Copies of this chain bind each other. A is one copy, B any other.
Amino acid sequence: MRDPLRVTTLGEALVVMDPLSKGPLRHVGTFEKHLGGAEFNVAVGLSRLGHAVGWAGGLGDDEFGEEILAFARGERVDVSRAILDPDAPTGLYFKEWRALGQLRVHYYRAGSAASRMRFDGLDVEYLLSGEILHLTGITAALSDSCHGLISDLISAANERGVTVSFDLNVRHQLLKGRDPREVLGPLAARADLLFLSEDESGLLFGGGEPEHVRKARRDIRAATVVVHGAEGAFAVEEEGIFEMPAYSVSVVDTVGAGDAFVAGFLSGRLRGWSTGECLDLANACGACAVTVPGDLKGLPTEEEAFALRRGLGAQDAGR
């Protein structure tokens, strides 16, 4: 394992059941098993880009939990602080491709091992041992104990001076009617580095344009707010607004694209790059991710992400 850890993250890693054919799930007979989970994706993404990263989270003490650990070790992500819960299963979700290409997800994560995590059960020292602690609004929406855990972790990190990276990641199916502004807003307000989709920016700040973010940023802690959309991304900082257009690629599966984007941005930060360069690497990682099916398969290596940035092309380059 590379060390010392530079980023730690905590969240739910899940088994993903991917339908082998399009259309309503009732007509799908065969599924492929993959792995996913927002923070887990970010951890794998950072590791592929060459950084020492640790992931913690609750898993069932079952085959799926073991599989996630083995996969993570294979990807050189430190999972020494994963928590195996003998009384609850590993989280799970099904993807469904409806007519018109619309994605629906069906969660089996209520009562999962991760949803039962508590601040008391964490190795906080470990989680604060890197330069960046990456968290998301998904964990905060899993359960009350998880919400408390995220809140307490942010406080601890704020106190210790560890950079809190927070991806809002609103999931209405988990919020079950609760207002994301109330549930997640106060957490986002205490992050040092905040990631939002355009829609989420609209939700939180009243609009997805740089100007909306610039105004809103005054009221929150974040030194950097990053907003990403299909056309590109921008970051708002004290120093100004940085924009970077998206790479034009053929989209196959957008799940995991945001996580790839975050991994790319954080990687730039760890390299000490400028915010513009960070955005560009983030865009490149997001672009690689959407060209390949599955939440994790498209997360690029450093070599692949850099190749895209250099403007690689010919299909037979590897022949």
What residues make up the interface of A, taking CB atoms closer than 8 Å to B? Answer: 1, 17, 20-33, 62-64, 66-67, 69-76, 87-89, 92, 96-108, 110-111, 171-173, 176, 199, 249-250, 252, 254, 287-289, 291-294, 296-298, 300, 304, 308, 312, 314-319
Contacts and interface: CB of A to CB of B under 8 A. Distances in A.
B25 A291 contact: no
Nearest to A296: B27
A173 to B, nearest CB: 6
A308 B103 contact: no
A288 to B, nearest CB: 4
Indicate how many identical chains form the complex: 6
A72 B74 CA distance: 7
A178 to B, nearest CB: 13
Contact of A31 (B33, B71, B73): B33
Given A29-B33, A249-B100, A294-B23, A106 B63 contact: yes
A96 B100 CA distance: 23
A293 B22 contact: yes
Contacts of A66: 26
A104 B75 CA distance: 22
A289 B102 contact: no
A63 B96 contact: yes
